[in-house]
Amino acid sequence: MSKKDRLKAQKQKQERLKKQAELDEQKEKKELESGSKESKAVRKMKRQGGIKDEPVYYMILKILMLAGYGYSVFFYGSITIIGILGKYIEPTPPKWVLWMFIGSWIGITVGLFLSFFKRYFSAFVLCEGGMIAYLQGATYMIEKIQLYLRSHTVEPELMDMDKEYMLRYYPVGIIGFISFVLLVITVIRLILIRRRKQQIKDSAPVKSIVEE
């Protein structure tokens, strides 16, 4: 191919690209005027996910909450409730301790359920309230055990019984802490997404008055 032919072919290619660019520009302009075209920033934001499309660390945090719930609340909380109701625990704790455990069991269960449905404010209120109630009941139980250990001679394997109960009850704090973290992260993400939407809206092209 001669130099003249190459130049001619290159020129034709440039003309085709220019024509295609003009067509794309006209098409985009019409779509923008009709309001059916999303900006690149909006499309990027949708690909990255809005507040409903949560990052993977949300699920990791929820699984940690579920683990703490299963170990401390569901298992040992249920054992404590059954022990008080069946009078297997001596001396039998007062009724308010029983209601602390029952109320916290229900509250944390519902709160955990709501967190999986992304109702983080309600989940936080229930989980925090449930955690506080649970720890009040647990503190009573542990203090009674410590009092017994100080006033009685027990076998060596029972000398650390209060610490064992701490390890059973105190992991409930994981649930309260993570529910707070989820709420804070969600609020921050909402603020950032709203700011980005506002920036996109402010920078969107405005239809010219002359064109009207």
Number of structural domains (the chain) is 1
Determine, yes or no, domain membership for 127: yes
**Is residue 210 included in any domain, yes or no?**
no
Residue 14 lies in a domain: no
33 has a pLDDT exceeding 80: no
Residue type, 186: T
Range of the domain at 185: 57-198
Both tokens of 133, joined, read 């109630």
CA atoms within 13 A on the CB side of 173: 10
Asked if the structure places residue 69 within a domain, the reply is yes
210 pLDDT tier (thresholds 50, 70, 90): very low
Is the pLDDT assigned to residue 40 strictly greater than 60? no
User: The whole model's pTM is what?
Assistant: 0.68
Query: So what's the pLDDT on residue 55?
Result: 87
Q: Is residue 4 part of a domain?
A: no
- Is there a domain that residue 42 lies in? no
User: Which of 163, 110, 106 is CA-nearest to residue 138?
Assistant: 163
Look at residue 105 and tell me if it is in a domain.
yes
Give domain status of residue 52, yes or no: no
Radius of gyration of the chain (CA): 32
How far, CA to CA in Å, does 19 sit from each of 11, 12, 25, 30?
Answer: 12, 10, 10, 17
